[in-house]
Structure formats: structure tokens, C-alpha cells
Copies of this chain bind each other. A is one copy, B any other.
Amino acid sequence: MPLVVHKYGGSSVADVEKIRNVAKRVVQTKLDGNDVIVVVSAMGKTTNNLIALANEITAAPPEREMDMLLATGEQVTIALLAMAIHAMGHRAVSMTGPQVGILTDGSHSRARVTHVRDDRVREELAEGNVVIVAGFQGTTIDGEITTLGRGGSDTTAVAIAVALNADVCDIFTDVDGVYTADPRVVKNARRLDVITYEEMLELASLGAKVLHSRSVELAWKYRIPLRVRSTFTEDEGTLVVHESMIEDMERVVVSGVTADKNQAKVSLRDVPDKPGIAAQVFRAISDAGINIDMIIQNVGHDGNTDLSFTVPRDDLRKTLAIGRDICDKIGATKIEPAENIAKVSAVGIGMKSHSGIAARMFETFAHAGINIHMISTSEIKISCVIDLEHADRAVQLLHDQFQLGEVAAAS
């Protein structure tokens, strides 16, 4: 019998009525002849409410106790969903992360899954149960409750799909798939039927908030097909698979265009152009827990150079404080922030074998009078930092340029 993992996010189980709808969908999948494991998040805003409650107690709650607190959210959902399935006359059993045996390291609030036991879930499936698992949570081997951090329920779903060798892992959400661009920005954005893990990963990390990167990495590593689908429609959604599974791969060069508007740019001026300086700068920033994204070092002149990089906008103030210290140490003249920027990217597995994509992107911007501040490329992605005010227009222009709105996208 095929084994299917469903994952439903918080908005899909936000109230009793929505939980009933999820129950119907799960039961139908079971009646269609599948074994079903369901992973759920906490209902609606439950997690945020619990965080607010903790913050009423103290501004800095210990992470271990936060995990203890937050893990209750998913536990409520699994019990209610199991009840809803029982009420429909079908068998279901709820299990917390610790009960399943989702083992993690001890990094509270951002634990990594180290192993998932399959025996307990298999027993319940063998007895004809739908198995409902609390997402986002796990346990150390010492029995400490941990949580997996942002997007943790996606990771739970994929980790379980891996452990039980599921045929597919369906991630149900409030959008009906992965689009060629944000449909709110680009009117003719088109839903992709299929996309590779690699592209999905670039899109996820670029701010297309559909799937969490960790879950995509995990699915990729073990080649578990993912499907991004809407909880509220019957659409098939977007299938995320290995590139070897996509037949007409070479036809599609660019799969999607995204804009990340949550970055800020920082430039260090007149940095002495000698070995070890860049290392010194980025070690200090990285030690502060700040994720640096793009880095550009301009060609030097007079023994000096300019060094620019992007960081999450929320970390800008902290970065500037650290940066000023470093300027003094290394003898740079000044540090300049730029908040109103966006990173616009084109992503496509076909770029591996097609050249000229970058040139077309730069030309598009040039014709539209959009200035490019920074450029970075990978095998399947080209990103440009431009002024924030041009971001939406830039996405639309690229979407048109690469003809992503057409059903059989060709470049």
C-alpha cells in the first residue's frame, strides 16, 4: 500500500472547522488506498500567543523552557485532529514528537533531527490507524523536549517521510503551489507543475516562503518527492523532485523570479587591500550570529578597496556597531549602510547548460534604467541588488523577458 505523508501548517488547522476539513482530506486519502501519516503545526496563532505569554513573564526565557512551552501547541492540534477522524468513524492515533522518537541534538529552539524511529509509527499504521504526528518538536536521547525552529513542521514531515520511505510528502499550505513569481506582484505569474529540489532551495532561501530550506535539503538528500498543495482546493500543486525525474528539463531555463526585500547593504570604504582583512571583517560579523549573504570586493586602487555585503535588515544596526569597531581596527575610512535595497533573482536548473541568461538579465535592467549595485551568481541562480523602489517592476520585467507566464516556458 502506498505511504503518503501530509503536512498541514497553522493556517490549515486554525479552528475546529478547518481541522474537520483536514480530517476529511486525510480520510479520503486513506479511502483512496494509502497509508497516511499526518504532521500538523499549532493552530493558527497559538505559537505566537504562547511566546507572548512567556514574554509577559520574562524578556529572556530559557530556551529549554520555551521548548517545553511551545511543544504544547502542536500537541493540542494532534489530539483534536485524531478526535475529528474518530468522529468520522475512522481510526487515528496521535503521537507527540518524543512518542514517535524524533531524536534531535540538544540545541533548544533550533534542534537538528539526528534520527527518526520508524517502529512505533509502523505498528500503528499496521493496525490500520492514520498516524497524526506533532510537528516542530522532538526529544534528545535524554528525554529533553526540543523544537526545530522556524519551518520545523516541514522538517518533521520530511524526516518522517525519509524514515518510513514514504512515496510522497504533501505539504499543504495556504498557497496552491510554487509560482514563477509572486502572484501579488506579477499578474501573469504561473504555477509550476514541477520544479527541482535545487531550484526550490534557491527559491526558499530567496524569500519565496513556501517550504523551509531544511526540509527541501532533507528531501533532496533522500530523494523524497515533495508536493506543495493548497489545503483548500483539490489542485495537484507543485511537485518538487530530483532533476533526473524531469524529462523536458532542458526546455526550461528560468523557473522563477523572486525579490528578497528583507536585506540591507553595508559598504566599508577604503579598506586596506591586503591579505586577511576580509577574513577579519566577516569573522567578527559571523561570530555575532549574523548571516552574511552577498559579498563584493571591488578592484582596489591606491592600495585600498571597497568591501560591500548584505545582511538581514533586522541585523543592520548590530552589523553597523560591529562594523565601526572593525573600521577603526583595519583602518577603513567609513562604513555606509543602504537600507532601501532588494535582491532580485532568477532561478533555473537550465542555467547549468545555458549561457547568456545573466547578460539578458543585465540588459533588461539597463533598458529599464534600473541600476545594479551588486551581482552574485551560482550555477542555477543570478541575483542582483537594486534599489528597493524598483524591485516589483524588476521582477515583472524579468518574468516577461524569460516568458514565464506562458504555459510551456521557453527562454
Contact = CB atoms under 8 A, between A and B. Distances in A.
Nearest to A93: B64
Interface string A62-91: 101110110110011011101110110000
A378 interface: no
Nearest to A80: B57
Interface string A88-116: 00000110101100000000000000000
A368 to B, nearest CB: 52
A54 B69 contact: no
A20 interface: yes
B76 A69 contact: yes
Given A50-B76, A99-B143, A83 B58 contact: yes
A19 interface: yes
A61 interface: yes
Interface in A17-73: 19-20, 50, 53-54, 56-58, 60-62, 64-66, 68-69, 71-72
A82 B53 contact: no
Contacts of A175: none
A321 interface: no
Contacts of A249: none
Nearest to A50: B76
A94 B57 CA distance: 15
How many A residues are at the interface, by size bracket?
35 or more
A68 B86 contact: no
A16 interface: yes
B87 A58 contact: yes
Contacts of A61: 83, 86-87
A45 B86 CA distance: 26
Nearest to A23: B57
Please indicate which of the listed interface residues A56, A68, A76, A96 has the most CB atoms of chain B within 10 Å of its own CB: A68
DSSP majority for the A interface? Answer: helix
Contact of A69 (B65, B80, B86, B93): B80
A104 to B, nearest CB: 15
A79 B58 CA distance: 12
Contacts of A143: 99, 120
A43 to B, nearest CB: 9
A214 B98 CA distance: 30
Contacts of A72: 72, 75-76
A164 B68 CA distance: 24
A411 to B, nearest CB: 51
Contact of A65 (B16, B58, B83): B83
A56 B145 CA distance: 29
Contact of A84 (B58, B66, B79, B93): B58
A54 B18 CA distance: 14
A140 to B, nearest CB: 11
B54 A80 contact: yes
A96 B98 CA distance: 12
A108 to B, nearest CB: 12
Contacts of A93: 64
Nearest to A68: B79
B94 A79 contact: no
B79 A66 contact: yes
A65 B53 contact: no
Given A16-B57, A53-B80, A143-B99, A75 B68 contact: yes
Pairs of residues from A and B, 5 with the lowest C-beta to C-beta distance, nearest first: A69-B79, A58-B87, A72-B72, A68-B79, A61-B83
Given A53-B76, A54-B79, A69-B76, 8 more contacts: A53-B80, A60-B87, A61-B86, A62-B83, A65-B83, A65-B94, A68-B82, A72-B76
Interface of A: 16, 19-20, 50, 53-54, 56-58, 60-62, 64-66, 68-69, 71-72, 75-76, 78-80, 82-84, 86-87, 93-94, 96, 98-99, 120, 143, 145
